[in-house]
Structure 1
């Protein structure tokens, strides 16, 4: 564990580290002051919606680019005019404050125009995960019960697979967007759909006058959990939460200006792509580049083409870029800032150094949560700090449950120790929860420290590393016990990351009949893409870096690891597969008791293991 302890100590943040960042902070003070109002002072009853910000940008930055997509450019004035046409059409259809519209459209300008148009009226948009289909898609639609459903041509087959399970769908409430630049060519809608591009053509481009104006506390969008552990849940996200991202990230953290260009390949149905990345640009008049899918091989060409200065990331995208062969021009580009989450400490500094990145604004938050952290000070390996009230408390290993003492109260962990993160629910830091009341209540811890207090249970374990800065440790439910010890999946994954021959690694626990706890298992992808790995070299490395109980008992070598549309690993499928030999093309290895090497698993060996022939 020596390397892990050394890494942990190197991540400590001291007052001197903060002092060193004072010039960085001083330079950004005007931007911080602008953002603070939206981040902390804006009230929920303020008559202000995200659509109003687009209107202001059309007045102030009308001629400047708002959206780059492929070879087209939309200015703020053009985007606002297009959204106004949508708003007037929707109003004519009876859509107003509090209504819901579902958007099943991939990343393209049409999605933004419809979204902004709806927000201007006070309607909320259910941002459908475009990887959903069948029963899962039907479930998501039922959660929000939209009055209208907008389906992109690229999503038609997905929608049709769910259509028969949703009883409120009629030909009157289905709107269609052809998969092209619909301002130039609206295309032809299939039977049973209204062509939205044609329908809005003759409506006014003037800002709509809304009698029942939306306020900041109203729901702007519904975002859906990824469904990695079950059916998705719909989480309302208010205009206020969006404004906090605009102020806290766009101004206070990144200090964006109208000259900045944010490169977004994350799906806009996800909070990081929509609320964090696009939100960060809106208050500042910056531009965005949107792309349908992330491409590591085309990434830097895009950055240079659009002169992008900021990149919206999740950690896996950074890993894909690092896995590309080094090039002489790696640091020669315009990209200087990044905002996102999930960048592992094991590759943080390496990524900055190789690609010449000046600022990584790592953040922590959940779509449904009431608390967020951001790396305002541009320090390494931290999600930053928060002005919201929070607590790190003792918890039952492997569950989301905090430990209560003899008096029925929770206990905070010692400084530097991992603890379950709770966000205090107050008027200012409200918990918006889920559309399902029972799911919302499950996420609240009541009577934690005082009789009437209430806290949002994030289900995540973090540690303070100094000066109120936190570092992500583990997602609850991923940690498991083996040999009477707690094994942190994140720590083992970070260790595997540092082994030069591995490009991807995830760790989880699997059950072996007749044993207590769960044995560690890792699924890995080789850096060269082959199905070969020097297992002796790997074991020697793991023995040097990890305690014996944390060394994976099983290792699955595969060519790729399935992910959700938001680049989260689908651990549930791998956990179900366990160490069985039921995945074609994979090789599974086992580190048997009393041996000094990994050996390839066979069906006969599995029978012996499950018959108790080996004492783990």
Structure 2
């Protein structure tokens, strides 16, 4: 019998029970130690999996009911559920969910009554960050139209190419870009009607703003936009890709829905106020940002253009808790003069991609306890990663759970031949951990690749066939990644003819074509070079002259400023006697990239883009040193 007051059941002796309990506790402690030692990220990985499963169950439930829910449907649900909640705050003005719903209804009724638009037609949209961008987007979506977001930096020939490639019936232009469209109006394909968000418009253009003033805001029947297939087109978002002019990536409803859960997956809630300075024509702002706010029922503070000097003032003014970034944005903030009270804000999360490790650390040290949520994903790609652990510098982790949903590889790449390395049997090979490899993702029913509008050739170029076995197909991301021993992934570089500068992809063939239009240029070989202290690579053009022609530096400057967006203009020029080419007649870049832009290492004449003199000027050792020291800003 147990002694009175011992707390043990009759017949169970203390010496027998205590060793059992001690052993259990010791076992649990050992298992916990073993888990932290061998699987330190198990619980965070499991949390990530449960979120993915929850989304899958939600989608499956609606599919079983025969309901295919879109981002627009979710917006309409939020407008009904929380009509008076601020959805968009812009320049101090509040636009509630109900306001946006009604204004977009007006847009839908204008086109329903005054245009030949029908379900499935494409409409191109060229507009700045402003509430009417969203009103027009949603209004057209309510008619079942596919909206093509035009990059507002693109001009002239490139803009015409973008418009032609997506074959729109209608082009909607913001007041800021009316002159841009007037310049190409005579060259627009026949049959496109142009509408402008301005009262007074030139002949040949219809005023959308005027018609909105008398339009009804009655609800548009769901039958106009209800879908029967989640893989049907929803948007076209332009991306530079790896070669050539911009391409219109087809964004289907399924991709849009999947992208909209990103903010939620990182821990955002309906109480968050999300600050957005990225351009809405980018997938990060439109799919993840606006779509994410709708998913949550949150509020978005929209700014027309990013301002490093006003960033934290805006965050304090609007009680911002989350902001979206690209790597350059964080660096610009860190480059601002230090001020008192920089940690005096409510921001808790920063979500984006491209944050360099050193900038990441400096940002946290300077601006306080903000969780950086890095992710990876190409607009047209079929794979994404999310850094849910907060590991500095990483874009995500290839854990066991992740591999259940995505089949990807990092394969060996020949930088000089600019192609994947294949063995004697013709198969690609995986790199070892710690080595850079080309990221490829298997294309299948679960993870399809939808390609580009009106560009079958470029769509096919993004695919690798017979990679590991006969008949398999993989999407070529064009990105080189490194995977460490803990399976964290890090962005390393871009392959081919594209590099990133100022947060944008620069298509070198496009830049080369613009420079090549000059009557004294024989060839232009464009590439990116590393400049200390800057994210990405600065543009450099190696050029040769036509026989008996001389170089006019002012004309080169005028040409690139007139026809190229600021981020695509080469910062440096290099004069060469002749171009080196590969066996397949592709211009050789590898050696040029390695040599950089140092006048101490290069015997060819070098030039630097001087915006004050409105010309390219000789790149002297003095100018080179000032660039390296950061005294001359690029």
Q: Paired residue for 1:193, among 200, 205, 209? A: 205
Matched, 1:144 2:141: no
Q: Paired residue for 1:251, among 264, 280, 285? A: 264
Q: In the superposition, relative to structure 1, how do residues 15 and 476 fare at CA in structure 2: closer, same or farther (>3 Å)?
A: farther
- 2:43 and 2:76 map into 1 onto residues whose CA distance is 35
Matched, 1:588 2:583: no
Matched, 1:264 2:247: no
Alignment of 1:76-475 (within 5 A): 76-92=97-113, 93-169=115-191, 173-178=193-198, 187-200=199-212, 201-210=214-223, 213-214=226-227, 215-226=229-240, 230-247=244-261, 249-253=262-266, 255-385=267-397, 386=402, 387-398=405-416, 400-435=418-453, 436-475=455-494
- 1:295 and 1:209 map into 2 onto residues whose CA distance is 39
Give 1:418 deviation, angstroms.
0.9
Give 1:295 deviation, angstroms.
0.6
SS in structure 2 of the partner of residue 459 of structure 1 = strand
Give 1:357 deviation, angstroms.
4.1
Q: In the superposition, relative to structure 1, how do residues 357 and 90 fare at CA in structure 2: closer, same or farther (>3 Å)?
A: farther
* Alpha-carbon displacement from aligned partner over 1:195-218 (angstroms, at most 9, x marks no partner): 223324332432423156224212
2:495 maps to 476
Q: Tell me, which stretches of 5 or more residues in structure 2 are unaligned?
A: 1-34, 500-526, 545-559, 576-596, 598-604, 628-634
- Computed over aligned residues only, the root mean square deviation of the Cα atoms, in angstroms, reads 3.7
Give 1:311 deviation, angstroms.
1.1
Whether the 8 Å contact between 2:154 and 2:565 is mirrored in structure 1 is no
Whether the 8 Å contact between 2:236 and 2:249 is mirrored in structure 1 is yes
Matched, 1:66 2:80: no
Whether the 8 Å contact between 2:529 and 2:540 is mirrored in structure 1 is no
SS in structure 1 of the partner of residue 152 of structure 2 = coil
* Alpha-carbon displacement from aligned partner over 1:84-130 (angstroms, at most 9, x marks no partner): 22223333334333210011111100110110111223211110111
- 2:175 and 2:38 map into 1 onto residues whose CA distance is 52
Whether the 8 Å contact between 1:46 and 1:216 is mirrored in structure 2 is no
TM-score normalised according to structure 2 size = 0.72
* Alpha-carbon displacement from aligned partner over 1:524-574 (angstroms, at most 9, x marks no partner): xxxxxxxxxxxxxxxxxxxxxxxxxxxxxxxxxxxxx99x9999x537563
Whether the 8 Å contact between 2:90 and 2:301 is mirrored in structure 1 is yes
Larger RCO (alpha carbons 8 Å, 6+ apart): 1
Q: In the superposition, relative to structure 1, how do residues 511 and 565 fare at CA in structure 2: closer, same or farther (>3 Å)?
A: closer
- 2:364 and 2:445 map into 1 onto residues whose CA distance is 39
SS in structure 2 of the partner of residue 263 of structure 1 = strand
Q: Tell me, which stretches of 5 or more residues in structure 1 are unaligned?
A: 1-13, 179-186, 481-488, 498-502, 514-560, 592-597, 602-616
SS in structure 2 of the partner of residue 308 of structure 1 = coil
1:525 maps to none
Whether the 8 Å contact between 2:540 and 2:570 is mirrored in structure 1 is no
* Alpha-carbon displacement from aligned partner over 1:156-192 (angstroms, at most 9, x marks no partner): 111112222223255xx221102xxxxxxxx334332
Whether the 8 Å contact between 1:270 and 1:566 is mirrored in structure 2 is no
Whether the 8 Å contact between 1:81 and 1:207 is mirrored in structure 2 is no
SS in structure 1 of the partner of residue 414 of structure 2 = coil
* Alpha-carbon displacement from aligned partner over 1:438-475 (angstroms, at most 9, x marks no partner): 10001100010111110011111001124432100111
Whether the 8 Å contact between 1:398 and 1:478 is mirrored in structure 2 is no
Whether the 8 Å contact between 2:154 and 2:564 is mirrored in structure 1 is no
Which stretch of the first structure deviates more once superposed, 85-94 or 378-387?
A: 85-94
Alignment of 1:46-61 (within 5 A): 47-61=68-82
* Alpha-carbon displacement from aligned partner over 1:490-540 (angstroms, at most 9, x marks no partner): 9966xx33xxxxx67846888799xxxxxxxxxxxxxxxxxxxxxxxxxxx
Q: Paired residue for 1:570, among 565, 568, 571? A: 568
Between Structure 1 and Structure 2, whose CA radius of gyration is higher? 2
Whether the 8 Å contact between 1:267 and 1:566 is mirrored in structure 2 is no
Instruction: Count how many residue pairs are aligned between Structure 1 and Structure 2.
Output: 507
Which stretch of the first structure deviates more once superposed, 234-243 or 201-210?
A: 201-210
1:530 maps to none
SS in structure 1 of the partner of residue 279 of structure 2 = coil
- 1:66 and 1:190 map into 2 onto residues whose CA distance is 33
Q: In the superposition, relative to structure 1, how do residues 239 and 42 fare at CA in structure 2: closer, same or farther (>3 Å)?
A: farther
- 1:144 and 1:589 map into 2 onto residues whose CA distance is 45
Whether the 8 Å contact between 1:87 and 1:208 is mirrored in structure 2 is no
SS in structure 2 of the partner of residue 269 of structure 1 = coil
